[in-house]
Amino acid sequence: MQTSLIHDYKFGAIVDVETTGMSPRHGDEVVEIGIILFRYNALDHDGVEIVETYQGLREPTDPIPFGVIRVHGITDDMVRGKTLDYGKMESIFTRADFVVAHNKGFDYKFLEQLLPMSIDKPWKCSCFGIKWVKNHGLPNQRLGTIRDFLGIPHDDAHRALADCEVVLEALKRPRYLQELLK
């Protein structure tokens, strides 16, 4: 952690996965991961800046079901022969003080086997850790709703890095980052 008299910088990693289904216990696998390492001024919860990003595709053991392809648009042709850069992902997670996922219960259960170094950090949930409905008047806490409410441009819903970028843009508003970190 870098410190100075004016700033106390901390680092977070936003992560999102796209998968072949809903449960790793039933054999579903990660086909895409997006990660954004960011830093911020921990005194004022502002000055959010991207330090590094990673996006990788991964070929699963079995073909991606058609219904899942309709959700994220990732096809078997896109992932054929692809593997993840575990060294780069480990480097990012090592530098992070905590990990953020928009639905941490979903992402966490896939990453606990795929990237065990990521689960050694405290995890925060931007979906349920910020009271979007109760405190901020949104009709729900879906990422698309938050994106529209905050006016965040976004064309690739349900693609890992693009979804991480929406979370990052929300956390650039100090009150949301502060609420998440309580």
pLDDT band at 6 (very low <50, low <70, confident <90, very high): low
Burial level of 41, CB count in 10 A (0-12/13-18/19+)?
A: middle
Amino acid identity, residue 108? Y
**Taking the complete model, does pTM exceed 0.85, yes or no?**
yes
The per-residue pLDDT for 117 is: 86
Whole-number pLDDT of residue 148: 94
Model confidence at 29, pLDDT cuts 50, 70, 90, reads: very high
Q: Mean pLDDT lowest for which of 12-16, 20-24, 43-47, 107-111?
A: 43-47
Q: Where are the domains of the chain?
A: 9-181
User: What is the structure's pLDDT at 157?
Assistant: 77
Mean pLDDT of 9-23: 97
Residue with tokens 């009150």: 175
What is the overall mean pLDDT for the chain? 94
**Residue 7 confidence (pLDDT):** 66
pLDDT in tens, 119-175: 999 999 999 999 999 999 999 999 999 999 999 987 777 899 999 999 999 999 989
Residue 52 has pLDDT above 80, yes or no: yes
Q: Is the pLDDT of residue 28 over 70?
A: yes
Say whether domain 9-181 belongs to CATH 3.30.420.10.
yes
Kind and range of the H or E run holding 47: strand 46-57
**Alpha carbon distances (Å) from 114 to 27, 28, 29, 88:** 13, 12, 9, 14
